[in-house]
Amino acid sequence: MLGSNLMLIVAMEVSVLFLLLCLYLLFQNRKLRRTIGLLHGRMEQLVKDLRTARIAAKAENQSAKSSETYKHFLNEHIQAVRKHHEDLESDRDIVLDIDPATPSSRRAAALRYAVLMAEKEATAKSGGNSADWKLLERKYEQLFNFNQQYAAEPSATDGSELEELREGLASAKKRINNLERFKTLYFDLEEKWENCKDTAKSHFNTLTQLTESAENSEEIAGALHAYHTSYAEVGALIEDAAEGETILSGASIDSSGEIKHLRAVAADQHKIITELQRKLQEANTVEAQAAVVDELQEQLQKQVRFVQESETCIQLMEDELGNANTELEQLRSRLNVLPQLKTNLKDLRDQNDDYEMQVYTLKSENRRLKSKLQSAGDSPPQDDGEVRKLKKEISAAEARYAELEEKFLDLKLQ
């Protein structure tokens, strides 16, 4: 009898202990649910921020496209004029075919090319909405002055100074060849950039359509990756952003799956605890109570493992959220760099246009000087003042060539 009472007392104490443990586990389960809810809310906010960033990028792309319509029109016509000039089988650059000694077909193409280049440079800073009339006046004045200077009658020169003038012209020709080489390199770079930009716009439009039609993360990540990869020839900046986007999408999917799993396990454990409480209340014999106690011990071990797994999952989700926030900040910072890259490219184009017009003017002056030298070679020496004037002009031309060559080198290295 005494042994039965002791067993009953021990069973009751164990039952009370397990009830306390069950209450503690219920409290922890409620705390875990609250934590999971907070994490889910943070993930939803993160997805909203990402969508906002995509919308901002789309709006910026549309505004940039509308502002470059007129400039794109000018570029197409400039390329068409250059192609037409190449079809005429000219043996020199298009900017040199503007002199009166050139056939009319090639001269017409050169004149149209000069006018289009002046228009492009005059509207570059205003986006095509207005023109810089002072700049246009200066460019057209260069064309008018070229015709006036070319039509001027050459004066007689001293035959003893012709050799020095020829050497100066040879040096100027070498500098012109260097400038032509640098100009070719720059045009190749500009053509590659234009092709990359057109490809990127196509991929970006595909991404926009996918985002509006369905929430398919794999297709969106693929299109975004292709969009950023198109800039690989000028740098890996946007490609890294594409990889960050892919990581972010994968982390969101994995975190959502973990949250659903935790919710399902928590609901099952809650049902098991309720069932064990009911069995403990209905147990009347020592054997039944012992069986309930054994089952409680087994469920307690499962609860302990579940709590450990939950803590691990929570830590992993916090780490993933931290990584996602970091990737989002990187995407925003990289998105802010894009306007600066476009501005730099625009400045480089403007500088190239200005240098091209200067090269064109200097080549025209050299042709005029060469014509004077040829005329002077057949004339008797009469005027030393004209020789000195020609030497000054040659020296000034060499100085301007050196300056242009240095600027083209700086432009190539940027």
Residue 241: its pLDDT value, please?
37
78 falls within a domain: no
Residue 101: its pLDDT value, please?
74
Q: Which residues contact 111 (CB under 8 A, 6 or more apart)?
A: 98, 143
83 falls within a domain: no
95 falls within a domain: no
Cα→Cα distances 30→25, 242, 258, 266, 270, Å: 9, 39, 17, 9, 10
Indicate the pTM of the whole model: 0.28
**Which two tokens mark 161?**
């100074």
86 falls within a domain: no
Residue 400: its pLDDT value, please?
75
pLDDT tens, the chain, 414 aa long = 566 778 888 888 888 888 888 888 888 888 888 888 888 888 888 888 888 888 887 777 766 565 567 777 888 888 898 888 888 887 777 877 777 777 888 888 888 888 888 888 887 766 555 677 888 888 888 777 766 655 544 444 445 556 666 666 666 666 666 666 666 666 666 676 666 666 656 655 665 555 555 454 455 555 455 545 554 444 444 344 334 444 334 444 455 555 566 556 556 655 665 665 566 566 566 676 667 666 666 766 666 676 666 667 667 767 777 777 787 777 777 777 777 777 777 777 777 777 777 777 777 777 777 777 777 665 555 556 666 777 777 777 777 776 776 666 666 555
Residue 167: its pLDDT value, please?
67
Q: Considering only CA atoms, which of 36, 31, 5, 100 is closest in space to residue 264?
A: 36
In degrees and rounded to multiples of 5, residue 155 shows phi and psi of: -95, 165
176 falls within a domain: yes
Structurally, the chain folds into a number of domains equal to 1
Radius of gyration over alpha carbons of the chain, in Å?
A: 40
85 falls within a domain: no
Is the Cβ–Cβ distance between 104 and 75 less than 8 Å? Answer: no
Residue 189: its pLDDT value, please?
64
Residue 406: domain span: 2-68+127-153+161-372+386-413
75 falls within a domain: no
39 falls within a domain: yes
